[in-house]
Amino acid sequence: MNPSHRLRLIALLPLATGAGLLGFLIARISIWIGFGLVAVLGLAVIAAVWRSATTVQRATILRRARAGLIAGIAATAAYDLSRFILVTVFESPVWPFEALPAFGGLLLGADAGFNTRLFAGSIYHVINGVGFGIAYALFSRRPRILTGLVWALVLELFMVTLYPTWINLKALDEFVRISAFGHVVYGVVLGLLTRRFSFSDPSEGTNSYAKSSDI
């Protein structure tokens, strides 16, 4: 198998939470069923890839996953903070965190209390953002700001296509502006930090990320 294909297959697992939501929004499949199916498949792929990988390739997988984890946490925080600042400064009528209790409702059911749904939805949101970051680090051959932006804008496309009717948004144009701004910030931080932490081991050299001998 082509070394770069190994990483892209492994990226399936951190996309499991997003796949569960996508399955619900498109086909109204339970978010737990969608998540479970993709997670099981992702774990099976990781097990198969790990068994056939060399020691150097395993080290590269772990290094990229670590880079995506760090970058994903920072990018998700920047995404939320940038949207909060934007709506606060410009006094927007759109609250960008309206989807959080809706996420919680999908996970726990509509009968759960608002605060419980908000807490569960917030945890899901963070896991989702970090998961997308790890998937990007595994999927992208040469992480940088440009590819981080492309990755983030693909996520933005899915969001603006599927979210408005689900959570019954009224001010759609304002929602798109806020969401797009947040995803641009997310993509810049993600691309920048993934590249930084992917090359954090000086003994491997700055070009090791793109070498097929690494993975």
Q: Is residue 70 part of a domain?
A: yes
Is the pLDDT score of 54 beyond 50? yes
Helix, strand or coil, per DSSP, at residue 112: coil
Q: Is residue 40 part of a domain?
A: no
Q: Is residue 129 part of a domain?
A: yes
Structure tokens that stand for 27 in this block: 């086909």
Q: Is residue 117 part of a domain?
A: yes
Contacts for 29 with CB less than 8 Å, ≥ 6 apart: 23
Eight-state DSSP code of residue 93: S
Q: Is residue 35 part of a domain?
A: no
Helix, strand or coil, per DSSP, at residue 79: helix
The total number of structural domains in the chain stands at 1
Residue 181 sits in which domain range?
A: 55-210
Q: Is residue 89 part of a domain?
A: yes
Distance of alpha carbon 33 from alpha carbon 35, whole angstroms: 5
Q: Is residue 22 part of a domain?
A: no
pLDDT digits (tens, 9 = 90+) for 2-30: 556 777 888 889 999 999 999 999 999 99
Q: Is residue 18 part of a domain?
A: no
pLDDT digits (tens, 9 = 90+) for 106-131: 999 989 999 999 999 999 999 999 99
Distance of alpha carbon 64 from alpha carbon 44, whole angstroms: 19
Question: What does 150-214 look like in DSSP terms, one character per residue?
Answer: HHHHHHHHHHHHHHHHHTT-S-HHHHHHHHHHHHHHHHHHHHHHHHHHHT--GGG-TTGGG-TTT
The whole-model pTM stands at 0.89
- pLDDT on residue 3: 57
For residues 132 and 72, is the Cβ–Cβ distance under 8 A? yes
Percent of the chain with pLDDT over 70: 90
| Angle separating helix axes 31-52 and 3-10, nearest 10 degrees | 150
